[in-house]
Amino acid sequence: MNQYTPGPDPDDDGARGPVPYETAHGRPYHSEHAEHAGAVGPGDRQAPVRPHNPMVVTWTLIWVNVAVYALMWILNLTGIDATYWLGLAPAVAFTEPWRILTSGFAHSMSNPTHLLLNMYTLWIFGRMLEGGLGRGRFLTVYVASLLGGAAAVVLLSPTYSLTVGASGAVFGLFGAVLAVTLWGPRQFRSNLTTILVLIGVNVVFGFLVPGISWQGHLGGLVTGVVVTGIFLARSRRNPRSSGGRPQATQQGR
């Protein structure tokens, strides 16, 4: 699907001035002097802005997850079961609250595919969302979805079942894409059926396959829809919050 650029939140330093998707790999040269005077002298030219990476947060999250997995693997070689200390179980959620966060970065040591699938999905949704929502908003959706998935695990999972994985946060990005499809610019409506089928298949898969936390998936999905919906509503009420570039909020309308 196309990348959505609703415009940044002026209070969000990380999201200020996102690049429209058509120039996502570098900002175009721009000079206010040239715009008003019609000419630019050699001394008035601005230095070209270096292209920036529109997926900084995505790649950072991927590398953090990989680094945690590598650390768990090293500890496992020494006889320390890191999953036991990093995973989340309702029975210890309040006495050992760090697990709420660490469980979202730890993955199953017996199944490397668990990490690979989550990171591949994070990369796909990072390409779709980070450049459009802005880094700060994208990170907010991810972390909020991780916490929402953890909350659902605490409320709905068996008391002593241990849960690990970034799936709750990743399902939050599913929810973010759904929110953009429902409430973003109209050109994204054509993707609604595809998104609903994709989400439906993954949700059903979580219910049917043993060892998958449907609780974390559900909590992350709902959180992602809600948080992204709030961001979109704020952008709609304040369409000029993009620093004088309202065109970035009106594509396809």
| Catalytic center residues | 167, 217
Report the b/e string of 101-131 with b at 16+ CB within 10 A.
ebbbbbbbbeeeebbebbbebbeebbebbbb
Contacts of 253 (CB under 8 A, 6+ apart): 185, 186
CA atoms within 13 A on the CB side of 204: 6
Contacts of 88 (CB under 8 A, 6+ apart): 99, 100, 102, 103, 150, 153, 154, 162, 163, 164
Cβ-contact 136, 14 below 8 angstroms:
yes
Contacts of 38 (CB under 8 A, 6+ apart): none
Rounded Cα distance, 1 and 78, in Å: 45
